[in-house]
């Protein structure tokens, strides 16, 4: 029991550190990447070089991300085996003016999570998801950098709002739940500005990046998902 407790503590510290590093990297890139963007940005993943403008951030092992431009109109596939890495796209816009983000995703396989009820701090081991879409809000002050994660989870009810077990300024919104649509394309659309006010209780600042991630580093299992037609920075008309 002592060994398991020590191992869990080390894993917890590791992910806290890498989460902080992710926020530091995004903050640094956003502060020095202030060029104007043509909005909206659209990512159909229908060209072989579709990931050239995306940067991979590796935390624990590399997730296999691959563009399939000739399959089903084009998509990005993500296959994780006990790994945690994400893809980040830097951009800058204010969601009050351009609040919308939409995408399509398909879960092929969920991480293998235990069915036990989480104990105190136990849901750290459940912080693996087949599909996540991030919107990141950088700040000059590190502790003010915030993030919304849109998640597809196998069990947690849709529209559940959670705080990351690692950092309080990361909020998760379950936008898709269950296995009913596994293996099928599901379309999502969210109002970033309204979601930010809902989870943080105030208006947002600028968006500095979006990101995608499929991860299984806590469960040491496998997961697979597909992403396509990501559109960000437009008005809800």
pTM recorded for the entire structure: 0.82
Outline where DSSP puts E strands in the chain. 41-43, 55-60, 64-68, 75-81, 84-93, 100-109, 131-137, 146-153, 161-163, 170-177, 186-191, 207-215, 222-234
Nearest to 148 by CA among 172, 177, 167: 172
Residue 16 confidence class, pLDDT cut points 50, 70, 90: low
SS3 150: strand
Distance (Å, whole) CA 173 – CA 191: 12
Cβ–Cβ < 8 Å for 73, 228: yes
DSSP assignment letter at 40: S
Please count the structural domains in the chain: 1
- HSE of 234, CA atoms in CB hemisphere, 13 A: 13
State mean pLDDT over 100-115: 92
pLDDT range class, residue 20, cuts 50, 70, 90? low
What is the arithmetic mean of pLDDT over 9-27?
57
pLDDT given at position 1: 39
Better-predicted residue by pLDDT, 29 or 132: 132
CB 127 within 8 A of CB 16: no
> How far from chain centre, in Å, is Cα 49?
22
| Number of Cβ atoms within 10 Å of the Cβ of 45 | 22
Rounded Cα distance between 167 and 174, Å, is 17
Give the per-residue pLDDT at 29.
Answer: 53
CATH number at residue 122: 2.60.120.200
Domain of residue 193: give its range. Answer: 2-234
CA angle 199, 205, 209 (to 5 degrees): 90
Q: Each residue of 108-151: pLDDT tens digit?
A: 999 998 755 444 444 555 789 999 999 999 887 777 789 999 99
Distance CA 134, CA 136 (A): 6
> How many angstroms separate the CA atoms of 142 and 20, rounded?
9
């Amino acid at each position: 029991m002592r060994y398991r407790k020590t191992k869990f503590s080390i894993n917890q510290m590791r992910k806290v550190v890498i989460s902080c590093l992710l926020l530091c990297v995004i903050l640094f890139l956003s502060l020095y990447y202030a060029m104007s963007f043509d909005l909206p940005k659209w990512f159909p993943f229908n060209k072989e070089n579709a990931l050239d403008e995306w940067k991979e951030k590796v935390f624990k092992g590399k997730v296999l991300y691959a563009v399939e431009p000739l399959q089903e109109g084009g998509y990005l596939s993500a296959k994780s085996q006990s790994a945690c890495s994400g893809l980040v796209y830097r951009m800058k816009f204010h969601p009050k003016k351009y609040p919308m983000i939409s995408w399509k995703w398909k879960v092929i396989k969920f991480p293998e999570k235990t069915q036990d009820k989480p104990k105190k701090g136990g849901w750290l081991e459940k912080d693996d998801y087949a599909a996540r879409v991030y919107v990141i809000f950088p700040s000059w002050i590190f502790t003010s950098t915030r993030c919304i994660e849109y998640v597809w989870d196998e069990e947690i009810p849709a529209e559940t709002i959670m705080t990351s077990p690692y950092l309080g300024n990361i909020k998760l919104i379950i936008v898709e739940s269950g296995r009913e649509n596994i293996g099928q394309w599901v379309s999502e659309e969210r109002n970033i500005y309204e979601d930010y006010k809902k989870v943080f209780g105030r208006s947002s600042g600028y968006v500095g990046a979006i990101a995608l991630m499929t991860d299984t580093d806590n469960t040491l299992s496998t997961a697979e998902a597909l992403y396509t037609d990501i559109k960000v920075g437009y008005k809800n008309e």
